[in-house]
Structure 1
Amino acid sequence: MSQDLRDIVRAEFEQAFGTTPAGVWSSPGRANLIGEHTDYNDGFVLPFAIDRRTFAAVGLRDDARIRVGSTFSDEIAEIALDELSPDVVSGWAGYPLGVVWALGQLGHADLAAVPGLDIMLESDVPVGAGLSSSAAIEGAVAFAIDELWRLGLDRVQLARVGRTAENEFVGAPTGIMDQMASLLGRDDSAVFIDCRTQEATAVDLGLAEHDLTILVIDTQVEHAHASGGYRERRASCEAGAAALGVPALRDVTVDDLPRAKELLDDVTFRRVRHIVTENQRVLDTVETLRTQGPRAIGELLDASHRSMRDDFEISVPELDLAVETAQAAGAIGARMTGGGFGGSAIALVPRELVSRLQVAVDGAFAEHGYGQPVTFTVTPSEGARREV
């Protein structure tokens, strides 16, 4: 599959721009094993890069303009580097163009002095499924430009560039988890990230050794992160932290929750309780993986979903059905993943039960009158890299 996409994106580049690209770079989507909405609260997350990637064929120009195309749109966006700003770009092109703008904003590149770029994108990361197709674009483009402009940035710096693009250029108020996972992923490992210090550590998952896999259940219910629900949750978390007198909810422990319940209204308290208990679940999952292995983390995954459903209220009926059906059909644990309000659930599954789970989920969705979900397994994989 990867070789096919590399060939496709090179051919599309040559057809659109009339030249040969300097190379092809790629970066993966990500699934979050556990730790949802904790990232922008300075907390802990445990995502992993998946074996679905965005490919960027990139070439240097001899002027100061940038052109961006993709195999999933007929549009070619073109603009002068010094005219880049959030007000003049919209739609999918905001992600790659936002990376270029962010490199300038963060002082990594003088956009008045660097050569222009031609960029063509191809991807097999599903859009709208909660698997961070946006961070895959940002990672591939940032990794390519870092090499072509000889910026010498490390992967964490490139993750910050991607987050700045997403926050300030596209306008989606996400944390840094997605970009870190996409850039720092490793085979059969998750990336344990402290979102306050941005310190990242690989944690062996041991899925292959234990004959386990992760099944993604894409409900096909689309979500839009830049819309109200995500912003409201973030505002509630900030209000809760302010009322409790801490810089961020990272600084609140499970032992502090009784006091929080007295101080906060019911909705804000439940939002806070999700973040505080989710942070603890991430720490417990890392410890359990290291000491007992992946078959012992099921209850932590299940508890995470209940917390998102009941306290953070970001699940939808389709996600709940996916999780409950997977659990009943033999999953070790299951939970929704991503920002919520649609998208995907993940289930940790013994390999021999994958087909059974897929049939069970399809049947349950049909029985409830929901559209057919898309299910596929993902393998924890390597982060951003140069392909050719």
Structure 2
Amino acid sequence: MPALDLSKLVKGVVPLTGKVDVRREFHPLDVGLKKDQKYFTLGGSPIVLPGRGQGLHRLQTRVESPIAGVPEEYQREAYVRLLSTAIFTHRVPGHAHSWPSDVPQDADALARLRSVLLAAVFRGANESFENGIFSPQRFACVGVLSVLTDANEPKKIADAWLDVEAASSTSGLVAALERLAGPDLTAPPNSRPLTMLVAEDLWYESQDVEQVIRRLAYLSGTNPSVHIVGPKEVSAVRTQLRDALPSRLIMFGGGLDEALATDFVSRRGTAELYRPHVEAIHDVVDWLRTELPRLRGVGPALMLNPEPLEASSMPVMPIAVASRCAHHNGTPYVLDQTTGWWWTRDRDQHGHSIFKTYVLRDDALDWDADRDVDGNVIEGKNKGNVLLHIPMSWMKLCSFPASHLSGR
């Protein structure tokens, strides 16, 4: 599969109306598709949507089934737009996605299987921004259309099926692509050199951690240099960092030598150094799914980042006296002197959470609560596994705390 540019996928958001124009000259699948619907890819001949037989019957059954996570009023239209106007369309190696139980799965059948990956981001008809939340929430669909050619007539389609997943966040989109894109991914061009250092103890937990990181990076549109670092590798990695001087440095794990960070900061500053709080591989995966797209200009809610919003539309932090400010990975955390809470904006915009508050304990910020636009606590919602705890040593002090109260 070729390199994937998430920013283009999000920029090409497909508007939905809740209506589908179905006429006789359309495809017999009867979901507003062209009669001769084909998928042209960079490799091989076009993949044709079957117009008769078992493949058509199986697809008709599928499009009558709801896609989990897609609003009811857009169910049918989501199928139409995914199959007809997907922003990302590319052939992937034939692999057994939702292989029908009544179709023999053997080496011969796998050799006759052809699949195309389809992906698109959708927005509702009346998308708006109010009180810090985009409504209705955007969603993405990722699908794999598989066609099985006839054993005796290669140009004839014997069967076909469609596997579709929906996602309501950028990290969910990356996860869906990860599951459906197949094993072979192409490294994207690297416009800004990025280096990731992984502590040796994480490698001991999972020795395929480097492959996991590269796969997620490729899906997010980045091509990093990845190093597993133990005591024996520190000297060589320091030399490589000095020679390569990457634009960004991401350090996973608490056992990494501080000299690696010090060398980088002395030449690039703190703004491009990222030190996520991770304790296990799943923390690394969670961070990569959210933050790598952000580094490519894609926000967590399937929007380009920064979103094209007027500053006046951003809710003001309900802070009486803004006395201190510190930044972590470009996000400001502002201290309200009257309450002792550190406030930041909830960039995910999910669950009506507009702000997050932290408290300072033992020279670190610990997550306290998710809050609505008025600053009231939202019960039953938490931060998850990432950024529950942010050491102040990871943060860069800011001299203008009040400037962040009404903007990001």
What's the TM-score once normalised by structure 2's chain length?
0.30
Bigger Rg, structure 1 or 2: 2
What's the TM-score once normalised by structure 1's chain length?
0.31
The structure that is helix-richer by fraction is: 1
